Structure formats: structure tokens, C-alpha cells
Amino acid sequence: MPSVDEALFRRAREGDRQAFWELVLPFRELIYSVALGMLKNHEQAEDQLHEVLLQAFRSLSNLRDPARLGSWLYSMTRNLSLDQIRKAQRLRGAIYASHGHGTSVAPVVPVEQRKEKEQWLTWMKAALDQLPEPFRVALALNYMNDTSCQEMAEILELTVPAVKSRLFQARKLLRRKTETLAAKEKGLDHGLR
């Protein structure tokens, strides 16, 4: 995780815009990775990045400890992403209800014929989407942001062994879900021939 210069932190807290940008830009990938892990959409994650930076600028004066900047930004990203997920769920429910149906909406997954490699990536993405949020976030931080276990421990406020365990469990669960999806689809394809 990027180290935080205390003098820069003080200037940013006092409203110095240039100091703020110098302070938070090293955390841009962290914010984006967490948002993407939760929202599962690149454009929404990019929008969330901008929203988090705006909120961080407005409320940085509330943060007292510069060493907590990474975990503070992580928490802010997670909370804003959860809010966005809830709003989307309410909107889908309202749209579905307005068509004379119940309040829950089943996700629609388009089925496409692809080459084997593309199909495997499709299965992997579907499996990743099914993982619980802590596992998705851990994988996003590790693979998309190349965050070390020590840095992840600080961000997620866990111990390093807990982070390693979470990553191990996430990879194992992702592999199992991907293989299950692949087996189901191959079984369906084989049965149609």
C-alpha cells in the first residue's frame, strides 16, 4: 500500500487540492479494483472511482490518522458500492413490479457460441460473479491491482494469514464453480447433439 506523507496529508486536509490529488492518486487502482469486484462492471467501477474521490475530498478533514487512508478509502468504496447495488436492486424490483410481476428479478444471462478459450473465460466470469463479495474483492485486489498480502491485510483490516486464507478459499471456490459451470454446459451441449 502506498505510504502517506504526513505533511502532504495535513495540506490536503486543509483544502489544498494539489496535495489532495498527490495524496489519493496512488490509491486509484485500489478504489477501482474494489468497486469492480463489487459492481462487476468496468464503467460503473470507473464512475464509482470518481464518486469516491469526490466524497474523499469533501470529508478528508474527518480523517485524523494518515496511516488509515487506505482502509478509509476502501471502506468508503465498499459502502458507496453497496449503496449503488441496493439502488439498482430497488430499480429492477420496481420495473419488474410495474410489469405485473413479483418484486424479485432473476438475472438474464445471454448464451453465446464461442471458441473454447472464450467459453472458459465466460464460465470463469460467471463463477466469479457468484462468489461472495469478500472473495471477489480479494481476487480483484490481488490480480487486478497486484496488491500484496500485507497491503491487503491493511486495507481489509485483517491479518496476513487471514488474507492468505481468503485468497486460497477464493481461488478454490472460483475453480470449483468454473468447473461446475463448464460441466453443466458441456452436459447440456452434449445432450443436444
Q: Mean pLDDT score of the chain, rounded to an integer?
A: 81
Per-residue pLDDT tens digits for 101-128: 544 555 444 444 346 667 777 777 788 7
CATH number for the domain that contains residue 156: 1.10.10.10
Would you say residue 20 has pLDDT above 80? yes
**Of 26, 43, 47, 34, which is closest to residue 78 (Cα–Cα)?**
34
**Could you tell me the pLDDT band of residue 100, with boundaries at 50, 70 and 90?**
low
Answer with the one of 53, 86, 108 that is the final residue of a domain: 108
CA distances from 101 to 34, 53, 85, 96, 105 (A): 33, 39, 21, 6, 9
Q: Which amino acid, one-letter code, is at 113? A: Q
Same domain, 7 and 64: yes
Q: In the prediction, which pLDDT does 1 show? A: 64
Residue ranges making up the domain that contains 49: 1-108
For the whole model, what pTM was predicted?
0.57
Task: Provide the 3-class DSSP secondary structure of residue 40.
Answer: coil
Per-residue pLDDT tens digits for 124-138: 778 878 888 888 888
Same domain, 99 and 137: no
